[in-house]
Amino acid sequence: MLFDFIMERMATSAEARQSAFLRAATLDNGLQVLIRPEHTAPLASVWCWYKVGSKDESPGLTGVSHWVEHMNFKGTANIPRDQVKGIIEQFGGSWNGYTWIDQTTYLETATRDALDRMLFIEAERMDRCLYHPDDCESERTVIISELQGGENDPDQLLDQEVTAAAFKAHSYRHPTIGWLTDLQTMTRDDLYGYYRRYYIPNNATLVIVGDVDADEALRRVEKHFGRIAAGPPPSRLRTVEPEQNGERRVTLEKEGTTAYLKVAYHAPHASDPRFVPALLLDAALTGAKGVNLWSSFRVPPPQRNARLYRALVETGLASAVSGAMLPTEQPFLYTISATATDGTSLQSVETPLLTELERVRSDGITPSELARAKAQLRARLVFDDDSVTNIAHQIGYFATVNSVDVLTSLPTQIAAATLEQVADAARALLAPSNRTVGWFKPVPVS
């Protein structure tokens, strides 16, 4: 081992959680390993994270990260394609994976006695996937169908177009699913070459959380992954998005029944000192969501006292309003979304929304709003860690976009945030010249 140490990790809540430790090690081939024993139930969750997502894609290969993720469920040299699911399901467990702008990840959660099998699957996935040409072609059809399904969702389509308009240079502008013509022309060699370039131990983080002994788990990781050779470090994106100097607008007109509004602002990345004040700002505007992309958005945020909920939903202008301030490796977007009620024009929704944002930008939020936002956000962080699966997700996600320290420092940063810091974030974030506005205007179905 190059290094092997124990970091004390304080629980994410000031309430009643006990402190836990995180065992960190790096194998000789560069694989980062993070192990957190959690003895509350006889379960274990294994996540393998790769520092590759849609931001790493070039024109002509958009969507390749997501397609590669699909291919890595199609069997390996030692796991027939029809047995990948069964290995975990025989232990009563679950498995999944996802791709986003900064990362691709795979997981299994099962009883603790399945740990060796879970590690075997992820080691196979890292080094021995097959990419049979027939599987590549059949998956092309699946992914194009997925893309077309997303285009039939007005809210999703508008989000994609607003993001593409907000970014002119940075590859965050590309949708994770990719652009259609790239999906139609990509080859098996494109996919397999991408897999070999990025699926290397020195570009990965393996996370284990559950009812395990850290030393024994690390020995098993060494057994399964130690033989895999490191690869050349992948080249990384160097483009920095130029500052936006004026409002941009996107208007979509398509068959539908509901009108949607999105307002997106360039926002700080996860390790930026302005990130936590921006989270608190969003909590005051639309309700706290937490920072777990895997589960935070599955539970509606507390919105009864949120400013934009009162301004839009309680007045009957919108049936729903939400905000998304997401932890990312590089500066991304803060997006506010609203769904207009039947018969309400988008202008009638946009005007009070922007008026309220300008009021916050001018005056900040109140002490009671800050106290409420802090309490809600702290509670959501506890929910983010409500299972071994979610704990493992959070550890691996933040280790991938920056470091686990960013995650563990969140409670302290939330507690220390001041009204002036939130006001500064509002002044910078909500500047009119920093926003992109998107309208989806439904056209009656003919």
Range of the domain at 380: 248-443
Do 185 and 316 belong together in one domain?
Answer: no
Bridge-based pairing of strands 43-50 and 248-255 is unpaired
Residue 46 and residue 111 in one domain = yes
In a domain, residue 237? The reply is: no
Same domain? 262 vs 211: no
**Amino acid, res. 190:** D
The residues near 378 (Cβ < 8 Å, ≥ 6 apart) are 12, 13, 14, 411, 414
- 48 strand-pairing partners: 106, 206
Task: Please indicate, yes or no, if residue 87 is contained in any of the structural domains.
Answer: yes
434 shares a domain with 344 = yes
Do residues 188 and 89 lie in contact, with contact meaning Cβ atoms separated by under 8 Å?
no
Q: How far, rounded to the nearest angstrom, does the alpha carbon of residue 423 sit from its chain's CA centroid?
A: 26
Q: pLDDT for 43-71, tens place per residue?
A: 999 999 999 999 999 999 999 999 999 99
Q: Which of 433, 127, 41 is nearest to 265 (CA)?
A: 433
Calculate Rg over the CA atoms of the chain: 22
Q: Is residue 234 part of a domain?
A: no
Please check whether residues 312 and 424 belong to one and the same domain.
yes
Strand pairing class (204-210; 104-111): unpaired
With respect to residue 236, please indicate whether it lies within any of the assigned structural domains.
Answer: no
Above pLDDT 90, what percent of the chain?
88
* Domains in the chain, number: 2
Q: Tokens 């996540």 label which residue?
A: 47
In the 3-class helix/strand/coil scheme, how is 77-143 assigned residue by residue? CCCCHHHHHHHHHCCCCEEEEEECCCCEEEEEEEEHHHHHHHHHHHHHHHHCECCCHHHHHHHHHHH
For residue 188, pLDDT over 60 is answered with yes
Q: Is residue 20 very low, low, confident or very high in pLDDT (cuts 50, 70, 90)?
A: low
Segment 72-100 mean pLDDT: 89
Residue 440 bridge partners (DSSP): 252, 260
Whether 188 and 252 map to the same domain: the answer is no
CATH number for the domain that contains residue 136: 3.30.830.10
Q: Which of 401, 386, 248, 393 is nearest to 328 (CA)?
A: 401
221 and 279, same domain (yes or no)? no
> How far apart are alpha carbons 259 and 248 in whole angstroms?
19
Read off the pLDDT of residues 169-182 as tens digits, 9 standing for 90 and up: 999 999 999 999 99
How many Å apart are CA 45 and CA 111, to the nearest integer?
9
Q: In terms of domains, do 294 and 212 share one?
A: no
Domain identity same for 204 and 271: no
| Chosen domain end from 225, 257, 274 | 225
Nearest 5°: the CA angle 362, 366, 367 is 140
Tokens of 285: 């505007």
Residues 276 and 152 both lie in one domain = no
Sort 249 into a burial class: Cβ within 10 Å, 0-12 / 13-18 / 19+: exposed
3-class SS at 444? coil
Structure tokens at 358: 């300008």
Q: What is the pLDDT of residues 134-178, one digit of tens each?
A: 999 999 999 999 999 998 999 999 999 999 999 999 999 999 999
373 and 325 fall within a common domain = yes
Closest by CA position to 177, among listed 211, 204, 213, 140: 140
Do 166 and 216 fall within a single domain?
yes
Res 238: pLDDT? 87
Confidence category of residue 14, pLDDT binned at 50, 70, 90 = very low
Query: Does residue 287 sit within a domain?
Result: yes
How many alpha carbons fall within 13 Å on the CB side of residue 329?
A: 22
pLDDT at 314 over 50: yes
